[in-house]
Amino acid sequence: MTQPDPKDALRALLETYLRCPVQPVLAELQQGLAAYQTAWIHARAGAGGDAVAVKDAAPAAKAPPVPKPKFPVGAAEREILEKLAGGWTATTADVTRWVWFEDRELVTLVPNPAGQGPDVLRLAPEGWRAIGRHPPQG
């Protein structure tokens, strides 16, 4: 009697007990194993040793792609969103079409930090999508 392939056994175990899509779990498991092997080799190579490549090591994790925005955004509106992403502190008085931006969930309004005056615009997650970027972490 022949032994079953270990990959098939792992796949059956994941499908049976986790009841989840197997391919993403296996990919994550293989990526973690490759990272562990690489770290183990680097730890044993010493500080002066050359880096040793692990066969079939998973490529470096890329940032997930930015999803498409819900609504199309024109060049003029995109320019304003880019300026906001760059740190521009715009108020509703600075942006004449601020209602259009807010209706499309591209910006959120926060009270003016000065305590009085027009509200300040901040990029919402949908606004970051519209310019094709992820919001900064923090």
pTM equals 0.52
Write the CA distances from 90 to 6, 14, 59, 96, 136, integer angstroms.
59, 51, 40, 11, 18
Averaged pLDDT, 108-129: 91
pLDDT of residue 108: 93
DSSP state of 72: -
pLDDT of residue 38: 86
| Cβ atoms 96, 124 nearer than 8 A | no
pLDDT of residue 15: 67
Calpha distance 110→104 (Å, rounded): 16
Question: Could you read off the pLDDT of 59-118 as tens digits, one per residue?
Answer: 656 667 777 777 788 888 999 999 999 999 999 999 999 999 999 999 999 998 888 889
pLDDT of residue 84: 94
Calpha distance 132→138 (Å, rounded): 19
